[in-house]
């Protein structure tokens, strides 16, 4: 598993990989379901006996397993009309399993996912339109970060509720920076400055084998889309439906990746990733490369911050904004993506599923005991600015909330956004292994993503 928020998978790529063409047909048969009639009180099921809510997440290890189960228990305590069953599905399998079970008519009532899912799955009928529930509850728009509020929607309709909002952070190992002769208390604010430090810390054997990484953008995650904002690239025009990837900024991004592949060898980079890439690069293990000094600087979601405290408590580290090239005219400090709870299409208990989504989004208890341990900013502004919550996360929350979140590049609710991410990933391989030029790679991305957008918009219509 890579960055949880980066685990993009388009419907087309999933079906091609799994051979489940029947999934597409089944979802098409129920595409764009009408929103259910929300009760006057969307949280009141009116049932004589508590109804069961089936919840799927990937929180099955360490502090987050305890935090998630605590949230489920709290939901039942505060909502006596419901009982709840929490099923743990590995993150890398969760979305695929939801899609498959939705097509089979056996989805959970609620599951945890990310903003990219909204525009991928709403057009194909895989999500329940919860707009009427949102309006009946009177969910306050002004209590959400504007980008997060938008990420809960597709074409003006609500398909998810957000618990928290991920921003990317640039992590650095202060001890390794000191070893290389630099001052970890006086770090650069441009990408070029970080590259200079990173190259000084990249270590190779005589044959070019990478042994320790200072900075290489392919490691840990070879996901160029995570750097689109830093380079100032645009993605699409929501008003016209036009993909706008074929730009000087996106070309500069691919050229940058290709330069590292040429400098260090794509095979050497791949070999390092293979050696250390297991279990999310050892994310949930004290032996992971983040905690042992095998990598000195890297860009990843804010959720890793408290992972360091759990699995690498002796690591001497700090974080800063994702840096932009000095030439970027509209560089943004990394990517923003909401963590969301969904009600799949065909859920047996839609009201219960929505009630759980709403609880996870609004509860201060959840923000304090679930979002804060996950080191992700609560999506409700009232929670993110609550003094008790801020005090519990004083080492990272104010910085992420005030200095990064309002200015980051928000993943758009664009049909095919997951497909786009995959195309950028494949472009890295095409440039490195096949010698495809960055310009040709970008042109191919533009053409294929535009077709994916068109197909999804046609499905939605």
**What are the boundaries of each domain within the chain?**
4-165+338-406, 168-335+418-460
Give the model confidence (pLDDT) of 26-70 as tens digits.
Answer: 554 544 444 555 554 544 544 468 999 999 999 999 999 999 999
pTM (predicted TM-score): 0.89
- Residue 65 DSSP SS3: helix
Residue 165's pLDDT is what?
Answer: 98
* Lowest-pLDDT range of 15-24, 127-136, 253-262, 331-340: 15-24
- Give the 3-state secondary structure of residue 58: coil
pLDDT in tens, 81-130: 999 999 999 999 999 999 999 999 999 999 999 999 999 999 999 999 99
Which residues make Cβ contacts (< 8 Å) with residue 458, sequence separation at least 6? none
- Please give the CATH topology (third level) of the domain spanning 168-335+418-460: D-Maltodextrin-Binding Protein; domain 2 (3.40.190)
CATH hierarchy code of domain 4-165+338-406: 3.40.190.10
C-alpha distances in Å from residue 123, one per residue of 8, 24, 25, 413: 16, 12, 13, 11
Whether 370 contacts 303, CB under 8 Å: no
Q: How far apart are CA 93 and CA 113, in angstroms?
A: 11
Q: Which residues pair with 110 in a beta bridge?
A: 55
Strand pairing report for 317-320 and 161-173: antiparallel
Strand-pairing partners, residue 168, are: 301
- Average pLDDT in the 353-376 region? 98
Regarding predicted confidence, which is higher, 21 or 163?
163
- Two tokens at 60? 């099955």
For the record, the structure tokens of 113 come out as 């996912």
Q: Is residue 348 classed as helix, strand or coil in its secondary structure?
A: coil
Residue 164 β-bridge partners: 339, 378
What is the average pLDDT score of the chain?
91
- Confidence (pLDDT) at 379: 99
Rounded to an integer, what distance in angstroms lies between the CA atom of residue 139 and that of residue 161? Answer: 10
Mean pLDDT of the region 428-438: 96
With 90 as the cut, is the pLDDT of residue 5 above it?
Answer: no
Task: Tell whether the model's pLDDT for residue 371 goes beyond 60.
Answer: yes
> Do 168-335+418-460 and 4-165+338-406 have the same topology in CATH?
yes
pLDDT score recorded for residue 41: 54
185 or 281, higher pLDDT: 185
Residue range 420-445: mean pLDDT, rounded? 95
Looking at the chain, the whole-number percentage of residues with pLDDT higher than 70 is 90
Rounded to whole angstroms, the Cα distance separating 420 from 106 reads 29
Nearest of 196, 205, 220 to residue 291 by alpha carbon? 220
Q: Could you check whether the bond before residue 220 is cis, i.e. omega within 30 degrees of 0?
A: yes
Residues pairing with 295 in the sheet = 213
Residue 282: pLDDT band (50, 70, 90) is confident
Q: How many residues does the chain have?
A: 461
Q: Kindly report which listed range (1-15, 133-147, 366-380, 381-395) carries the lowest average pLDDT score.
A: 1-15
- Give residues with Cβ within 8 angstroms of 138, minimum separation 6: none
pLDDT digits (tens, 9 = 90+) for 206-244: 999 999 999 999 999 888 999 999 999 999 998 999 999
Q: pLDDT-derived band of residue 17, with 50, 70 and 90 as boundaries?
A: very low
Tens-digit pLDDT profile for residues 377-400: 999 999 999 999 999 999 999 999
Distance (Å, rounded) from C-alpha 224 to C-alpha 426?
Answer: 10
pLDDT number for residue 279: 78
């Amino acid at each position: 598993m890579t960055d949880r928020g980066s685990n993009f998978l388009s419907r087309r790529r999933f079906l091609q990989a799994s051979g489940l063409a029947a999934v597409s047909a089944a979802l098409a048969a129920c595409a764009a379901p009408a929103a259910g009639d929300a009760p006057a009180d969307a949280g009141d099921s009116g049932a004589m006996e508590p109804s069961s809510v089936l919840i799927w997440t990937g929180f099955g290890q360490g502090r987050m397993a305890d935090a998630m189960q605590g949230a489920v228990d709290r939901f039942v305590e505060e909502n006596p009309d419901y009982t709840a069953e929490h099923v743990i599905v590995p993150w890398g399998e969760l979305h695929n399993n939801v899609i498959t079970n939705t097509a089979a008519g056996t989805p959970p009532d609620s599951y945890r996912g990310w903003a990219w899912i909204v525009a991928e799955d709403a057009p194909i009928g895989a999500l329940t339109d919860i707009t009427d529930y949102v309006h009946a509850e009177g969910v306050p728009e002004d209590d959400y970060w504007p980008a997060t509020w938008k990420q809960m929607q597709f074409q003006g309709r609500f398909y998810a509720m957000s618990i928290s909002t991920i921003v990317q952070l640039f992590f650095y190992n202060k001890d390794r920076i000191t070893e290389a002769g630099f001052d970890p208390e006086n770090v650069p604010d441009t990408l070029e400055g970080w590259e200079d430090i990173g190259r000084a810390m990249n270590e190779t054997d005589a044959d070019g084998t990478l042994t320790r990484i200072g900075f290489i953008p392919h490691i840990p995650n070879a996901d160029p889309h995570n750097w689109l904002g830093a380079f100032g690239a645009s993605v699409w025009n929501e008003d016209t439906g036009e993909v706008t990837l074929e730009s000087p900024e996106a070309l500069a991004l691919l050229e940058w990746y290709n330069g590292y592949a040429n400098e260090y060898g794509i095979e050497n980079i791949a070999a390092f990733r293979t050696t250390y890439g297991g279990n999310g690069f050892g994310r949930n293990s004290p032996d992971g490369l983040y905690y042992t000094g095998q990598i000195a600087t890297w860009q990843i979601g804010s959720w890793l911050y408290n992972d360091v405290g759990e699995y690498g408590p002796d690591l001497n580290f700090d974080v800063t904004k994702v840096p932009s090239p000095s030439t970027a005219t509209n560089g943004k400090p990394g990517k923003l993506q909401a963590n969301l709870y969904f009600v799949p299409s065909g859920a047996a208990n839609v009201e219960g599923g929505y009630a759980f989504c709403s609880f996870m989004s609004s509860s201060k208890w959840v923000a304090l005991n679930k979002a804060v341990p996950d080191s992700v900013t609560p999506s409700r502004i009232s929670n993110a600015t609550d003094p008790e919550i801020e005090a519990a996360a004083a080492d990272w929350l104010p910085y992420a909330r005030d200095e990064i979140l309002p200015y980051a590049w928000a993943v758009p609710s664009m049909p095919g956004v997951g497909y786009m991410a995959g195309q950028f990933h494949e472009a890295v391989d095409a440039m490195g292994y096949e010698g495809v030029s960055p310009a040709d790679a970008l042109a191919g991305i533009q053409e294929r993503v535009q077709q994916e957008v068109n197909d999804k918009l046609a499905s939605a219509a």
